[in-house]
A and B are shown apart, each in its own frame.
Chain A
Amino acid sequence: MVVFVGGELEPTLLYVLLEIATNRILNTTKKFFMTDNLIMRQPIVQAISLAKQVRNSEIQLTILQDINLDVNAGEAVSIVGASGSGKSTLLGLLAGLDTPTSGKVYLNGKDIFALNEDERAELRGSMLGFVFQSFQLLPMLTAVENVMLPLELAGTNNAHTVALELLERVGLDMRLKHYPKQLSGGEQQRVAIARAYVTSPKLLLADEPTGNLDLATGSQIIDLMFELNRERGATLILVTHDEAISSRCTRQIHLVGGKLNAD
């Protein structure tokens, strides 16, 4: 956009506008080149004809049916829908936490249901990060130990240093030695976010991350999550029923009665 003031282009303003334009172009390019998948035109997450049914005392319940979904690298996708629409089930399937009745999920091109439990766990450890509604910190570990855990599981040597940096980034450098029990809800979720990003995952999956927090804290947490996601160039899939949060994502997917209703 070019603004003319009194028919003439004010030189300083022009300089600023040019700067913005350049940055935009640079950013987009950067994002473009950072995500190698995009170059190959391959989605980071791909679900094909995904379905999930459960048998509940003689009754066959269909939770998800015929889900086809591509999420490209760098995207921030929200899955929205009413309670019981199958949001969390879909998230669980995309992460390989659950197995489908039929259909496939490719993570970074790998058919995750062709892998066994341990191989799936390894894949999760190497490319996924999670943020949960109920934080899911290990109660027997301190804040810093919780953040270190994924790095230690992956065999990283400088786990402590990296964890410290990230906790500092989320504003908890004064709470390193505290146990989850000694932290507030918002603080616990910050630790969880730090833990999720500590391995620099390609894909971050968040399940109602503000569900257990008050409005103000929730909004801070969402800001933090989006900031970190941007900084680290990760792909985000977010389950929420909060339209405001959903609208901050690049794409919204609506689940209605287990079926996809994409925007």
Chain B
Amino acid sequence: MNFIKLSLRMLRRDLYAGELYILIVALVVAVGGMTTVGFFADRVQLALSRQGDQLLGADLIVVSDHPLSKHYTDKAIQLGLNTSTALKFPSMVTKGDNSILVGIKAVTTGYPLRGELRITNDFEGTSPLLRDRIANTIPSPGSVWVGEKLAARFSLKEGDKIDVGTASLTVESMITQEPDYSIGFINLGPRVLINAIDLPATGLIQQGSRISYRLLVGGDAGSIQVFRNWIKAHLELGERIEGIRDARPEIKAALERAEKFLNLAAMASVVLAAAAVALATRRFILRHLDGCAVMRCLGIRQAEILYIYLYHFIILGIVASSLGCLLGLMGQEALVFSLSTMVDVELPWPSLFPVIHGLLTGMVLLLGFAIPPLLNLRSVPALRVLRRDIGISNTHSLTGYILGLTVLSGLFLWKAGDVRLGSLVIIGFIVAIAIFSLLGYFLIKILSSTCSKLGGSWNYGLASIWRRANTSIVQTVALGLGLMALLTLTLIRSDLLQNWHTSLPTNTPNRFLVNIQEDQLQPLKVFFSQHNIKQPEIHPMVRARLTSINDKIVSPEDYSNLRAKRLVKREFNLSWAREINSDNQIVDGQWWQRKDMGEAVLSMEEGIAKTIGVRLGDTLTYDIAGNVFSAVVTSVRKVNWDSFRVNFFAVTPPGVLEKYPTSYITSFYLPKNRIDIIDQLIITFPNLLVIDVEAIIIQVQKVIEQVTKAVEFVFLFTLLAGLVVLYAAIISTQDERIYEAAIFRILGAKRRQLISAWVVEFAILGGIAGLFAAMGASSLGYVIGKYTLNLTYTFNLWIWFIGIFAGITGAMIAGLMGTRGSLSSPPILVLGKIG
């Protein structure tokens, strides 16, 4: 016989009768959540890979914090490769009274070697004839190309003059697309492109300036490889190579982190959907027992019953998963919108991979959690047609879901993209299920033996829970898991937000002045007193690279911690001070005495000491502009970074670092109504870098808000899935409950009595589930926060109240909504429908 036809017929009727809504909604929500993140990540990945060479602007770049040796260029030319150089650094630009911090790139002819630099002269964006074009050249000497943001900020037109350092340059074009500026987190303000010939005139290149020197190399792959091998052997400290394969690692890392968290949120909805699928399938099976018994009676084989329902579920899975993918496609648009700052580029259309992943997730979820219980339908005894009390075994057992749990775990590991995070979450859920089941059993047992003496509704409600002990446990576990996922996300999320939103006291410094040269110290002092601004504390700053600890050479590979890797790779700022900063506190060792002045000793900040593994008495060796400097750690300080004052990881006493190239830094508070001072400051000291901390904080907060919005959006799917589980858990025993209520009503029970008995039942189930959820979420939140996201965990008492309260109210509302309606129809009718 044609089982597909019969399956379709049954599917149609089940759909019509509303038997499959929970399954469909659960699948659509889970697949929707997964594909929303999937589509988004896919589009970003595509943008990254498609623009790989564009992002780089070359086939290979040698990046350095000091001017690069001419040998490198010579070698490249010798190999027949094209070269070009670029210098990148932050600086202030001024137009009239306005100034702003921008990212400057000074380039030589040939830039970019790869990718497109597009410009336009239509600053207003009105003339279609003057749409952007590929720039086949670089800004001519004395002129500047500006980014759209700067053009808008200063209302620039062609021919306007802007001051870059001490040079006044003419605005020539507006950049519409630039290599290595496609995607990225917080950019330090708008971008400006100038000709390298103009650099000396700007007076911005000075000792200690934060400049990235870049040698761009392009050519055929073979020669590039030869050059790559050659230069690898010749790289000096502070130099590294970037190729297409390692294009923008920080962007990739940042996006991967964001994706990881979004995926985690999406996976929470999958876990919830799994619970909903398991519960809904259980109900589906109970409702189809009679049908299967009749079919067995009519001569159908066991395997044929399985085929019918397998087709039934496969068709259902494909349809629901496809709907989920559609929802994901719409959802990712919302995600792109909410993460507009993070993704500052036109994203290509997503590939088909997320659809395949979505369909796979949906099918795995449905089949993993529906097939094991469905297998039971085969063994429905035909005798059930005569004796309805004969059911099938194993409908309650959790062991039937081992396949589903295994598959789900695999999915989790794959999607978390992080074995540690994935395993933590899986183990968390498995342990939770085991503990919840056991605890649930004992709690229900204790409650029913103690509270049954209360009589009335309590008696009936508790008796009802105890009689269905297995089902009750399944219900509380499912409900508990749902709530646990919701609470875990709320916990982690609120902890994240807490970490991000640092409240600042008023009068905290809001401007940093960087790059102050020794000969500017006195004039600057005069400038401050002329403008009636409190003289700020000025700190010396010496750029140094840590080369060894106790004569052991340090390299990023020695550390597994990402932060440590980053810290070891970059240059440190060393400083010296006579007195300890007021916001610092010694936690180990001693601050220097008068006799220690001029001694090569160091005071380290607690956090960095811990991260890179430095202890009291260790000898640290630095490379300062080619010179070796060693010092012994004699104290460890705790620093209050939230003060926004200038602080350093490593400080020496005076008389040690003075002989090295030094620049100075300071921070001060500038009231809002005196912003004009900054412009005068820039005009007087063009090389100074004014960092507007307030603007950065605002920008950081904007990004945080957007990431939060994105997470909250994905969180919506989790919330929806949580509600589906709640409903599925309650409705799974609805038939029995309605049937019993009808009998009770025939026996004379009043509506009020029944409702209060149900209220007791749902409140107890919900309360236990809420307790489980709070327990699980607190532990899991702690573990994830501490070991994976490196967050400080704050014990949250509210989670317990919220968990229990949400459990009780949620279960009561959903439960009463599902069952109350049956009280209005005559009992005999109810019995006829269900019996």
**Could you tell me which A residues sit within 8 Å of B by CB distance?**
88, 91-92, 95-98, 117-118, 121-126, 130, 132, 134, 136-141, 145, 149-150, 152-155, 179, 181, 195, 207
A124 touches B298 (CB 8 A): yes
B1 touches A130 (CB 8 A): no
B299 touches A140 (CB 8 A): no
B385 touches A136 (CB 8 A): yes
Q: Contacts A97-B382, A139-B13, A179-B13 given: A152-B297 contact, CB under 8 Å?
A: no
Q: Contacts A91-B386, A117-B302, A118-B301 given: A149-B295 contact, CB under 8 Å?
A: yes
Of A117, A126, A207, chain B has the most CB atoms within 10 Å of the CB of A117
Q: Contacts A88-B387, A97-B383 given: A141-B298 contact, CB under 8 Å?
A: no
B14 touches A140 (CB 8 A): yes
Contacts of A207 in B (CB 8 A): 386
- B291 in the interface (beta carbon within 8 A): yes
- B153 in the interface (beta carbon within 8 A): no
Closest B-chain residue to A96, C-beta based?
A: B382
Q: Contacts A98-B383, A141-B13 given: A121-B296 contact, CB under 8 Å?
A: yes
**Could you tell me which B residues sit within 8 Å of A by CB distance?**
1-2, 6, 9-10, 12-14, 17, 19, 290-291, 293-304, 381-383, 385-388, 833, 835
A121 touches B10 (CB 8 A): no
A140 touches B298 (CB 8 A): no
B299 touches A138 (CB 8 A): no
Of A98, A118, A121, A145, chain B has the most CB atoms within 10 Å of the CB of A121
Of A88, A96, A97, chain B has the most CB atoms within 10 Å of the CB of A97
B10 touches A125 (CB 8 A): no
Closest B-chain residue to A87, C-beta based?
A: B386
Contacts of B302 in A (CB 8 A): 117-118, 121
B291 touches A139 (CB 8 A): yes
Q: Contacts A138-B291, A140-B14 given: A125-B385 contact, CB under 8 Å?
A: no
Contacts of B14 in A (CB 8 A): 140
Interchain pairs with CB closer than 8 A, number: 91
Closest A-chain residue to B388, C-beta based?
A: A134
A125 touches B298 (CB 8 A): yes
The 6 closest A-B pairs by CB, nearest first: A125-B299, A140-B13, A97-B383, A118-B301, A97-B382, A98-B383
12 sample A-B contacts, Cβ–Cβ < 8 Å, listed by A number:
A98-B381, A121-B296, A124-B298, A130-B298, A132-B386, A134-B388, A140-B9, A140-B12, A150-B299, A153-B299, A154-B1, A179-B13
Q: Contacts A97-B297, A153-B1 given: A140-B386 contact, CB under 8 Å?
A: no
Q: Contacts A97-B385, A140-B17, A155-B1 given: A124-B299 contact, CB under 8 Å?
A: yes
**What CA separation (Å) do A150 and B387 show in the bound complex?**
21
**What CA separation (Å) do A195 and B385 show in the bound complex?**
15
Closest B-chain residue to A136, C-beta based?
A: B294
Contacts of B17 in A (CB 8 A): 139-140
Contacts of A88 in B (CB 8 A): 386-387
Contacts of B296 in A (CB 8 A): 121
Residue in A91, A97, A134, A137 whose CB lies within 8 Å of B381:
A97
> How near does chain A come to B9, taking the closest CB pair, in angstroms?
6
Contacts of B303 in A (CB 8 A): 118
Residue in A123, A132, A145, A150 whose CB lies within 8 Å of B9:
A145
Residue in A118, A130, A145 whose CB lies within 8 Å of B297:
A130
> How near does chain B come to A135, taking the closest CB pair, in angstroms?
10
A138 touches B2 (CB 8 A): no
A122 touches B301 (CB 8 A): yes
Of B291, B294, B302, chain A has the most CB atoms within 10 Å of the CB of B294
Residue in B10, B293, B381, B385 whose CB lies within 8 Å of A140:
B10
**What CA separation (Å) do A118 and B295 show in the bound complex?**
12
Contacts of B383 in A (CB 8 A): 92, 97-98
Q: Using A118-B302, A126-B299 as known contacts, list a sample of 19 further A-B pairs with CB atoms less than 8 Å apart, ordered by residue number in A.
A: A91-B386, A97-B381, A98-B381, A121-B302, A121-B382, A134-B388, A134-B835, A138-B10, A139-B13, A140-B14, A140-B17, A145-B9, A149-B6, A149-B298, A150-B299, A153-B304, A154-B299, A181-B833, A207-B386
Contacts of A141 in B (CB 8 A): 9-10, 13
Closest A-chain residue to B14, C-beta based?
A: A140
Residue in B13, B293, B298, B387 whose CB lies within 8 Å of A153:
B298
> How near does chain B come to A126, taking the closest CB pair, in angstroms?
7
B386 touches A125 (CB 8 A): no
**What CA separation (Å) do A124 and B19 show in the bound complex?**
30
> How near does chain B come to A53, taking the closest CB pair, in angstroms?
16
> How near does chain A come to B278, taking the closest CB pair, in angstroms?
22
Closest A-chain residue to B6, C-beta based?
A: A152
**What CA separation (Å) do A74 and B300 show in the bound complex?**
26
> How near does chain A come to B120, taking the closest CB pair, in angstroms?
64
Contacts of A153 in B (CB 8 A): 1, 295, 298-300, 304
Q: Contacts A139-B17, A140-B13 given: A150-B381 contact, CB under 8 Å?
A: no
Residue in A97, A121, A137 whose CB lies within 8 Å of B300:
A121
Closest A-chain residue to B292, C-beta based?
A: A138
Closest A-chain residue to B833, C-beta based?
A: A181
Residue in B1, B13, B290, B386 whose CB lies within 8 Å of A152:
B1
Contacts of A121 in B (CB 8 A): 296, 299-302, 382
Closest A-chain residue to B12, C-beta based?
A: A140
Closest A-chain residue to B305, C-beta based?
A: A121
A150 touches B298 (CB 8 A): yes
Contacts of B290 in A (CB 8 A): 136
Contacts of B388 in A (CB 8 A): 134
Contacts of B385 in A (CB 8 A): 97, 130, 132, 136
Contacts of B9 in A (CB 8 A): 140-141, 145
> How near does chain B come to A183, taking the closest CB pair, in angstroms?
12
**What CA separation (Å) do A10 and B301 show in the bound complex?**
63
**What CA separation (Å) do A96 and B301 show in the bound complex?**
14
Closest B-chain residue to A156, C-beta based?
A: B1
A92 touches B299 (CB 8 A): no
Contacts of A152 in B (CB 8 A): 1-2, 6
**What CA separation (Å) do A181 and B833 show in the bound complex?**
8
B300 touches A125 (CB 8 A): yes
> How near does chain A come to B151, taking the closest CB pair, in angstroms?
66
Closest A-chain residue to B303, C-beta based?
A: A118
Closest A-chain residue to B1, C-beta based?
A: A152
> How near does chain A come to B285, taking the closest CB pair, in angstroms?
14
Contacts of A118 in B (CB 8 A): 301-303
**What CA separation (Å) do A115 and B304 show in the bound complex?**
18
Contacts of B833 in A (CB 8 A): 181
**What CA separation (Å) do A134 and B294 show in the bound complex?**
11
**What CA separation (Å) do A132 and B17 show in the bound complex?**
24
**What CA separation (Å) do A179 and B387 show in the bound complex?**
24
**What CA separation (Å) do A97 and B383 show in the bound complex?**
5
A122 touches B299 (CB 8 A): yes
**What CA separation (Å) do A149 and B295 show in the bound complex?**
8
A97 touches B386 (CB 8 A): yes
Contacts of B293 in A (CB 8 A): 136
> How near does chain A come to B387, taking the closest CB pair, in angstroms?
7
Contacts of A140 in B (CB 8 A): 9-10, 12-14, 17, 19, 291
Contacts of B2 in A (CB 8 A): 152
**What CA separation (Å) do A139 and B13 show in the bound complex?**
8
**What CA separation (Å) do A218 and B301 show in the bound complex?**
33
**What CA separation (Å) do A207 and B297 show in the bound complex?**
13
> How near does chain A come to B33, taking the closest CB pair, in angstroms?
30
Contacts of A98 in B (CB 8 A): 381, 383
> How near does chain A come to B834, taking the closest CB pair, in angstroms?
11
> How near does chain B come to A173, taking the closest CB pair, in angstroms?
20
Contacts of B299 in A (CB 8 A): 121-126, 150, 153-154
**What CA separation (Å) do A126 and B19 show in the bound complex?**
32
Of A140, A150, A153, A207, chain B has the most CB atoms within 10 Å of the CB of A140
Of B302, B304, B382, chain A has the most CB atoms within 10 Å of the CB of B382
> How near does chain A come to B627, taking the closest CB pair, in angstroms?
85
Contacts of A123 in B (CB 8 A): 299
> How near does chain B come to A19, taking the closest CB pair, in angstroms?
42
Closest B-chain residue to A185, C-beta based?
A: B832
> How near does chain A come to B524, taking the closest CB pair, in angstroms?
85
> How near does chain B come to A186, taking the closest CB pair, in angstroms?
14
